[in-house]
Amino acid sequence: MNKEKRYEIMRRLAEIRPNPQSELDYTTPFELLVAVVLSAQATDKSVNIATAKLFPIGNTPEAIAALGVEGLTPYIKTIGLYRNKAKNVIALSEILRDRFNSVVPDNREDLESLPGVGRKTANVVLNVAFGQPTIAVDTHIFRVSNRTGFAPGKTPLDVEEKLIKVVPKDFKKESHHWILLHGRYCCKAKNPDCANCPILDLCEFKEKNLS
């Protein structure tokens, strides 16, 4: 796929959603970090239901750490893998409190040093909370990038590195949201809505990559 097609794809996706937002509910970088950690292998909707009850009780590292694993668990037990996530959220809260003066770091190295925070989670926080042009490759972005031929790759890291190179500069900061939301609502894993796809005519490999 050439750069002209990529530019037009991003232009159309941006036109549809000129002000894309994370679908996780949060008001601070710490709330976002906790929500993203909880969202692994879970839906944003399920996380939002849980955090709507949790954050009024505790939305700072000190408050969450004070809950402990047993105190946090009832708030998040409706979310998949909640036991391990509870341990990670308590541990990262304690580290933020003790090592980072309760401030969520704005760099990858420190973020990825926190329990439960991998590259994808760090990318989301850096992009959404701090406005950095990172791209968190989830299942939606991985699928769209390969299915359309926009940035094919065998692994999420392959796709991320390709996207960083080929997404036009004008669209890089919000590209994470535009591609993700297109995959979530149009270019779905099953029964993609090709009839209403705004970029279908620009896609490559679309027939063999529809699964």
Q: Encode pLDDT of 11-69 as tens digits.
A: 999 999 999 989 999 999 999 999 999 998 899 999 999 999 999 999 999 999 999 99
Q: Which of 128, 143, 171 is the last residue before a domain boundary?
A: 128
Tell me how many domains the chain contains. Answer: 2
Task: Indicate which CATH number applies to the domain containing 144.
Answer: 1.10.1670.10
Q: Each residue of 64-108: pLDDT tens digit?
A: 999 999 999 999 999 989 999 999 999 999 999 999 999 999 999
How large is the angle between the packed helices 139-148 and 156-166, nearest 10 degrees?
A: 60
**Residue 66 CB partners (closer than 8 Å, separation 6+):** 58
* Residue 71 domain flag: yes
120 in the same domain as 55: yes
Is residue 49 domain-shared with residue 9, that is, in the same domain? Answer: no
List 5, 87, 110, 138, catalytic entry = 138
How many CA atoms lie less than 13 Å away from 45 in the CB half-sphere? 1
Is pLDDT of 209 > 70? no
Q: How far apart are CA 29 and CA 57, in angstroms?
A: 17
In a domain, 159, yes or no: yes
- CATH number for the domain including 65? 1.10.340.30
What are the tens digits of pLDDT across the range 109-148? 999 999 999 999 999 999 999 999 999 999 999 999 999 9
Report yes or no on 68 lying in a domain. Answer: yes
DSSP secondary structure letter of residue 211: -
Q: Which of 120, 154, 162, 201 is an active site residue?
A: 120
110 is annotated as an active-site residue:
no
Active site residue 138: yes
For residue 211, pLDDT beyond 50: no
Residues 141 and 87 in one domain: no
Same domain, yes or no: 124 and 40: yes
Helix (H) or strand (E) holding 70: helix 61-76
